[in-house]
Amino acid sequence: MDLTCRPRRLRSNGILRKMVREVRVDKSSLIYPMFVREGNHIKEEIPSMPGQYRYSVDCMEEKLVELRDAGVRSVMLFGIPDSKDEVGSGAYAQDGVVQQAFRKAKQVCPDLYLIGDVCMCEYTSHGHCGVLCGREVDNDRTLELLAKTALSQVQAGADMVAPSDMMDGRVAAIRRLLDESGYKNVPLMSYAVKFASSFYGPFRDAAGSAPAFGDRKSYQMDYHNRREAWKEAMLDVQEGADIVMVKPAMAYGDLIREVKERVNVPVAAYSVSGEYAMVKAAAQAGSIEEEAIMCEMAVSAYRAGCDIYITYFAKELAKCMDAGMIG
Ligand code: PBG
């Protein structure tokens, strides 16, 4: 056969395959999401997310050290309070569960980078991501509470805040309060392109944050939309977001790519609870090879264009990177 181009030439040797690899991944881009609950001596497995736990503040250290030792340097904290109310006051309480968790984590693992998820849904009795006016979430009244929440997390030790509520104008509101309070240099990562997704189901079990009525479609995005993703991302950059996120990751690679091409800030992708749960369930059923699938999913998000990957598999991925399975 007289073939000029033989793409297989570059696949013929392992060293060569790595030399010509187009996407390279690194542990420094991983963020691990972690659930912290009120109480003492608690490490309870989340039924829908085997291998993931809710930790009480006094039990966090073991996990933080394990992550650090694996080379995962960034952790995003989610608080699960014992009691909730209409206005989510636990979200911005000085001694709230996540604020306590930041203080503890800074003390026991000062070399980790700590990120605060800023939202009301784990703290409101109705489970919505803001305060209600009738059965509607009141956007503008919620902004003040989100800003207070972000500030309280930073005061407790968060190095970065990440609003996930999808209210309009929250990036500007949080930025303004942080700046006025002397935190001009604390970065803000916006969950800018966040879809109303059934992939969050296991998270809501974990955090007890399912809405008591209705759904989140009046604030999270409709997954039929593509151009709206650029609109949300660009608005948040204009409002001062330092990093924008696309969420979920697995079924949204097209949007990771498009957002990446349209903004000039780093892009994060969040591989959410449902993605994790599906991999675990299929692996337990013997249908797939867990580690290989996890690696392939992660690389596909980086290939789509993310700079940062948020995943419950962070520690396991770090190990695969060390072992050279991906990298
Ligand atoms: C809070 C929040 C959610 C997730 C991250 N922050 C749940 C939701 O919007 O209902 C989902 C994360 C995951 O599924 O892993 N608003």
Average pLDDT value for the chain: 97
Residue nearest to atom 8 of ligand 1 (CA): 200
Q: Looking at residue 91, what is its pLDDT?
A: 98
Instruction: Produce one character per residue of 275-297: b if its CB has 16 or more CB atoms within 10 Å, e if not.
Output: bbbbbbeebeeeebeebebbbeb
Cα 308 to Cα 191: distance, rounded to the nearest angstrom: 13
- Answer yes or no: is the C-beta of 312 below 6 A from any ligand 1 atom: no
pLDDT band at 209 (very low <50, low <70, confident <90, very high): very high
- Answer yes or no: is the C-beta of 311 below 6 A from any ligand 1 atom: no
For residue 261, the CA-to-ligand 1 centroid distance in Å is: 25
Q: Looking at residue 118, what is its pLDDT?
A: 98
Cα 155 to Cα 183: distance, rounded to the nearest angstrom: 9
Q: Looking at residue 157, what is its pLDDT?
A: 98
- Answer yes or no: is the C-beta of 200 below 6 A from any ligand 1 atom: yes
- Answer yes or no: is the C-beta of 258 below 6 A from any ligand 1 atom: no
Dihedral sign for Cα atoms in the order 124, 127, 132, 138: positive
Tell me the best of 123, 200, 246 to mutate to test the pocket of ligand 1, counting ligand atoms within 8 Å of each CB and taking the most.
Answer: 200
Phi and psi (nearest 5°) for 304? -65, -25
Q: Looking at residue 289, what is its pLDDT?
A: 98
Phi and psi (nearest 5°) for 227? -70, -30
Bond before 47 cis per omega within 30 degrees:
no
Contact (CB, 8 A) for 269 and 247: yes
247 is catalytic: yes
Closest ligand 1 atom to Cα of 201: 14
Closest ligand 1 atom to Cα of 194: 9
Tell me the best of 164, 189, 218, 252 to mutate to test the pocket of ligand 1, counting ligand atoms within 8 Å of each CB and taking the most.
Answer: 164
Q: Which residue type, as a one-letter code, is found at position 96?
A: G
Among 61, 141, 55, smallest CA distance to 98 is for 55
Residue nearest to atom 10 of ligand 1 (CA): 200
Q: Looking at residue 187, what is its pLDDT?
A: 98
Q: Looking at residue 116, what is its pLDDT?
A: 98
Contacts of 1 (CB under 8 A, 6+ apart): none
Q: Up-side HSE of residue 46: CA atoms within 13 Å toward CB?
A: 26
Residue nearest to atom 6 of ligand 1 (CA): 164
Q: Where are the alpha helices (DSSP H) in the chain?
A: 14-19, 60-70, 97-108, 139-156, 170-180, 201-207, 227-239, 253-262, 273-284, 290-304, 314-322
Q: Looking at residue 131, what is its pLDDT?
A: 95
Q: Up-side HSE of residue 210: CA atoms within 13 Å toward CB?
A: 11
Name the 3-class secondary structure at 137.
Answer: strand
% of the chain with per-residue pLDDT over 70:
100
Cα 269 to Cα 308: distance, rounded to the nearest angstrom: 6
Q: Looking at residue 189, what is its pLDDT?
A: 98
Phi and psi (nearest 5°) for 308? -130, 140
- Answer yes or no: is the C-beta of 164 below 6 A from any ligand 1 atom: yes
Other beta carbons within 10 Å of 326:
18
Name the 3-class secondary structure at 10.
Answer: helix
At residue 20's C-alpha, the angle toward residues 16 and 23, to 5°, is: 130
pLDDT band at 285 (very low <50, low <70, confident <90, very high): very high
Name 181's bridge partners. Answer: none
pLDDT band at 78 (very low <50, low <70, confident <90, very high): very high
Q: How far apart are the first and last CA of the chain?
A: 35
Other beta carbons within 10 Å of 101:
29
Among 295, 220, 225, 292, smallest CA distance to 254 is for 225
Residue nearest to atom 11 of ligand 1 (CA): 200
Catalytic residue among 27, 84, 104, 247: 247
Q: Looking at residue 135, what is its pLDDT?
A: 92
For residue 122, the CA-to-ligand 1 centroid distance in Å is: 9
Closest ligand 1 atom to Cα of 199: 14
